């Protein structure tokens, strides 16, 4: 009993320390200092011209061309790619709604839900990421395109069925032959289908007011958003959410930290013999990331304020709660309400429109 009391006292002391010795906030940086700091930490603006884009996202194994991108766009929106001809890539990746479907779990062929209750990641800016899917199992957008088409609970097509279906359409035969002239079989094969889709997805980059700020416009974002950006950098969010995509460049353990309060908020297994404190929310679907190791591809934060619900199984609806969870369980910081509001104000500056690239630049 004495030992328990000592533990409680020690924990209480540790928890109370911030109240007796509050962390001193650093003075707010000037606009120039904040911009230079962000740029030095690899938070970069999205380019507006196609030549610069090519240097960043072109794939040596799938060189981009105007014709290939146009073919990929046709395929991306075509429901012929699904078994019942009712689902396209755009069904789960709505380009005008953040690049996802705003559902807790993706719904596919004949209303089937993803068996692991996985949330559809955004396709916007996905080409900037170093891997695809929540468990990072695909290396690029071309490899990613192989999965949903064949998954029984998504589009439910076999490569053979899809090739036969497209070969029966004269216009597709003509376009594929023109885009892939080196293919002696006319160009329509499963790899070329996914290469075309990947080529189009590589152009789905967005720009928002944050890009304008990084390029020198001090008035592009609000003072509140600037404070949020400074918090985002100084508190450690930028450690994982970095690069032009503001995320998607690494896989990380989640959660990194546990909270003593979690001991009083646990989920029991059906036999009441074990408890689950794996995540700070109910882990519907039971997904545990890459190889069951509780590691996940870091989400891309561009347009994040449009892609609710959050986390791999869509367990959290509000962006404010998602920010609080990330602070508490990844950084060990209990963000105040005002800090959360400032960080969210910054995240809203990452909301942007798809860039209409001129392919003849």
Q: In the chain, what percentage of residues exceed pLDDT 70?
A: 87
pLDDT confidence band for 128 (50 / 70 / 90): very high
Token reading at 53: 């884009």
Token reading at 85: 């001809």
Mean pLDDT for 328-354 is 97
Token reading at 233: 């950098």
CB-based burial of residue 252 (10 Å sphere; 0-12 exposed, 13-18 middle, 19+ buried)? middle
What domains does the chain contain, in order, with CATH numbers? 2-47+207-353 (1.10.760.10), 50-201 (1.10.760.10)
Q: Which of 9-18, 74-83, 124-133 has the lowest mean pLDDT?
A: 9-18
Whether 361 has a pLDDT exceeding 60, the answer reads: no
Q: Is the dihedral of CA 301, 305, 307, 313 positive or negative?
A: positive
Whether 4 has a pLDDT exceeding 50, the answer reads: no
CB-based burial of residue 60 (10 Å sphere; 0-12 exposed, 13-18 middle, 19+ buried)? exposed
Alpha helices in 168-274 (DSSP H): 170-179, 190-201, 209-214, 223-234
Token reading at 299: 């989400």
- The rounded distance, in Å, linking the Cα atoms of 71 and 88 is 14
Whether 184 has a pLDDT exceeding 90, the answer reads: no
pLDDT confidence band for 193 (50 / 70 / 90): very high
Q: Which of 5-14, 94-103, 143-152 has the lowest mean pLDDT?
A: 5-14
How many CB atoms are located within 10 Å of the residue 64 CB? 20
Mean residue pLDDT across the chain: 90
Per-residue confidence (pLDDT) for residue 182, from 0 to 100:
86
Per-residue confidence (pLDDT) for residue 267, from 0 to 100:
46
Of 199, 241, 196, the residue nearest 346 (C-alpha): 241
Per-residue confidence (pLDDT) for residue 258, from 0 to 100:
74
- The rounded distance, in Å, linking the Cα atoms of 310 and 121 is 10
Beta strands in the chain (DSSP E): 206-208, 251-253, 267-268, 275-276, 295-297, 352-354
* Prediction pTM value: 0.89
In degrees rounded to 5, what are phi and psi of residue 62? -155, 65
Find the catalytic residue in 25, 36, 154, 337. Answer: 154
pLDDT confidence band for 92 (50 / 70 / 90): very high
pLDDT confidence band for 28 (50 / 70 / 90): confident
Per-residue confidence (pLDDT) for residue 318, from 0 to 100:
97
Query: What are the tens digits of pLDDT across the range 232-284?
Result: 999 999 999 999 999 999 999 999 987 654 544 444 444 444 445 689 999 99
Token reading at 339: 């800090």
Query: What are the tens digits of pLDDT across the range 196-233?
Result: 999 999 999 999 999 999 999 999 999 999 999 999 99
Per-residue confidence (pLDDT) for residue 144, from 0 to 100:
97
Residue 154: active-site member: yes
Per-residue confidence (pLDDT) for residue 215, from 0 to 100:
98
Could you tell me how far CA 279 lies from the centroid of its own chain? 19
CA atoms within 13 A on the CB side of 128: 26
Per-residue confidence (pLDDT) for residue 277, from 0 to 100:
65
pLDDT confidence band for 110 (50 / 70 / 90): very high
């Amino acid at each position: 009993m004495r030992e328990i009391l000592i533990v409680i006292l020690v924990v209480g002391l540790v928890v109370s320390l911030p109240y007796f010795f509050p962390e001193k906030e650093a003075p707010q940086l000037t606009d120039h200092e904040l911009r230079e700091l962000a740029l030095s930490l690899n938070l970069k603006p999205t380019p507006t011209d196609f030549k610069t884009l090519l240097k960043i996202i072109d794939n040596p194994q799938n060189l981009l061309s105007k014709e290939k991108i146009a073919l990929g766009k046709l395929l991306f929106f075509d429901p012929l790619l699904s078994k019942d001809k009712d689902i396209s890539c755009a069904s789960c990746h709505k380009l005008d709604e953040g690049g996802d479907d705003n559902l807790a779990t993706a719904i596919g062929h004949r209303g089937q839900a993803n068996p692991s209750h996985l949330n559809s990641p955004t396709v916007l800016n996905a080409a900037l990421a170093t891997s695809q899917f929540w468990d990072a199992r695909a290396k690029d957008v071309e490899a990613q395109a192989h999965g949903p088409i064949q998954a029984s609970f998504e589009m439910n097509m076999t490569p053979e069925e899809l090739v036969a279906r497209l070969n029966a359409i004269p216009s597709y035969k003509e376009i594929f032959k023109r885009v892939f002239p080196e293919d002696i079989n006319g160009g329509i094969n499963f790899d070329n289908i996914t290469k075309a889709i990947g080529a189009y997805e590589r152009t789905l980059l967005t720009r928002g007011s944050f890009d304008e700020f990084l390029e020198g416009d001090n008035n592009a974002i609000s003072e509140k958003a600037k404070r949020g950006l400074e918090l985002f950098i100084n508190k450690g969010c930028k450690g994982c959410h970095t690069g032009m995509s503001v995320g998607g460049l690494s896989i990380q353990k989640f959660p990194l930290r546990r909270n003593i309060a979690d001991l009083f908020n646990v989920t029991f297994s059906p036999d009441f013999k074990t408890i689950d404190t794996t995540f700070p929310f109910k882990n519907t679907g039971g997904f545990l990331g890459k190889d069951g190791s509780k590691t996940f591809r870091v989400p891309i934060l561009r347009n994040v304020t449009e892609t609710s619900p959050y986390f791999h199984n869509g367990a959290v609806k509000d962006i404010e709660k998602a920010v609080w969870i990330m602070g508490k369980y990844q950084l060990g910081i209990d963000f105040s309400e005002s800090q959360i509001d400032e960080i969210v104000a910054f995240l809203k500056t990452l909301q942007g429109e798809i860039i209409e690239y001129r392919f003849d630049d």
